[in-house]
Structure 1
């Protein structure tokens, strides 16, 4: 089974940017590297390292140009990844011993990074570990302490607080991490700038739900929902998760069951798309018929083609800098 960190993001009218690193060290996972490390800016993957290639590599064309101002960037970060790989292997063994576990399939994960609001200048950040899919230890940025949800992590909490690790991590999050985030945003501005979607209504048959589909938007901090007479609907609606497209943009769908709604009332329904930093868009449902006699609602705007993204991302992450042993 795949084990991932779950990140809960709330939509806001302000614009929040993120730089997040994910590391995963695993044992006895078939056809998967023992260690993988990736970085994301605003949900777009920018780097990749694994224990097979032993090299940190760019995942975006604009990331290749970073050596124009930092000639040692890829060599330096490859060495950081190599050191983190070794530390993660040791931490996996330590966690197994503390939890009295035998050899087998195990996974040690780390997530770290920062979020920066470019309107309020507010900074938030993450530095947390999980073992076999359960939280192990995490930094509380406000109190500069560590939270240990498992008794086996308490010894790590006390040791890290004693040596000032919480203060170092906070300093990294609020300074170096944010500085790099701003640099990446400048270098990748043409890709990372906010993009409005193409929205279309689709219905397979008269008895099928009407799907409002938005695709090609960026970043992924977006909401898509149905309204009736301006009021948001919850019953008879299926809301689907945001999915990535192959070009780094995103897509989202929402299905509305109209089987019991008279055709003349369809215009009371609207699909609303909200994207951070972009004015809200309302698309009213109209009933038309195409040459195949399949009923289709046409959005008041450009029709977008469905982009089916078969992307499965295995998240893993790390902080740039010194190793952390548990």
Structure 2
């Protein structure tokens, strides 16, 4: 599968990422026997920005972005009712699966994921719908046959159940071929001030002359980034450690790549750090020279932008769900899909079928 308000100080101009791939993704996660954890959670994202979340503990829909909050209260109440209905349905499904597989106790996770993506340069769209249970793919929606297919034999009974519901099949055909893309485009337009391509700030950092040289890119958006070291015009991978892409608390991202090299080596050769961000054609380059290196010898440590795993501490429960529901479920990469959002903020398009399991 293809797996937050943007403000970056020091950027003179921002350009909208209408050349980028945008995506809309919904996560429905039900679990059992996890102490102090909600049995049911819904998370919706557009372009990796969380828009909405609901869980069985609070039993209300929480819009997370300003452009989503503009929707009237009557709409959110109707969404709450739909999510509550799904909460009950998922609870029944988890119970049914546990009985069918003779699972008495223990932690069990059922996750329903669906969404779509659009390449604004080519106009190409892609959609998917999948169901996973206890870390394994269970069902997937076949876009050619317009029906649900069991990924493993144990899921045949659910395939038959879902495909025997004619109204369900009609709903998903319309959703995947029309509604999802329509909702995605609407969210991109509504949230265009947030959904921008933001260039990175790139720095070369080193603690001491014998420490690795860190190429640190931060403040960029979206999260797709490549940070590499170049030696004399060729990509250099020897003695290079690649860090993970991390999220800043303003919704932008950061990533570091560390090069272990002796001073005499980089002074006698041309080393460059090259940063490439999805949706930005320009490469950002820092040449490794003594004047470019920022050190903290005798000074406080470099001020890396703090990161958090969610939007705010209030959403810690959602972070746990991602660990329990998304990470446990082995996400397949064949679709190359980048996660995206929930509630379509369009009551006529959200539809009870999207919450129906």
| TM-score of the two chains, using structure 2 as the length reference | 0.77
Assess if the C-alpha contact under 8 Å between 1:23 and 1:318 holds in 2: no
Change (3 A) 1:155 1:318: farther
**Deviation readout 1:130-174 (Å, 9 max, x if unpaired):** 112221111132443434232210122233334454553242023
SS in 2 for 1:190: coil
Partner of 1:310: 308
Change (3 A) 1:83 1:93: same
Assess if the C-alpha contact under 8 Å between 2:117 and 2:181 holds in 1: yes
Change (3 A) 1:84 1:170: same
SS in 1 for 2:185: helix
State which of 9, 14, 27 in structure 2 corresponds to 1:22.
27
- Is there any run of 5+ residues in structure 2 with no aligned partner, and where? 4-17, 311-318, 326-340, 344-349
Cα deviation, residue 62, structure 1: 2.3
Cα deviation, residue 30, structure 1: 2.1
Partner of 2:66: 61
Matched, 1:35 2:43: no
Matched, 1:178 2:181: yes
Of structures 1 and 2, the one with the larger relative CO (CA 8 A, separation 6+) is 2
For residues 63-212 of structure 1, the aligned pairs below 5 Å read: 63-67=68-72, 72-164=74-166, 165=168, 168-212=171-215
Moved over 4 A (4+): 164-167, 289-294, 316-320
| TM-score of the two chains, using structure 1 as the length reference | 0.84
Cα deviation, residue 231, structure 1: 2.1
Partner of 1:268: 271
Assess if the C-alpha contact under 8 Å between 1:139 and 1:166 holds in 2: no
Q: Could you tell me how far apart the structure 1 residues matched to 2:296 and 2:162 are?
A: 67
- Is there any run of 5+ residues in structure 1 with no aligned partner, and where? 1-6, 295-303
Is 23-32 or 230-239 further displaced after alignment? 230-239
**Deviation readout 1:70-101 (Å, 9 max, x if unpaired):** x6321221122111111111111122122221
Q: Could you tell me how far apart the structure 2 residues matched to 1:237 and 1:290 are?
A: 19
Matched, 1:248 2:251: yes
Aligned residues: 305
Computed over aligned residues only, the root mean square deviation of the Cα atoms, in angstroms, reads 2.7
**Deviation readout 1:177-226 (Å, 9 max, x if unpaired):** 22221221122111111111111111122232211111111111222222
Q: Could you tell me how far apart the structure 2 residues matched to 1:192 and 1:100 are?
A: 46
Change (3 A) 1:264 1:126: same
Assess if the C-alpha contact under 8 Å between 2:223 and 2:245 holds in 1: yes
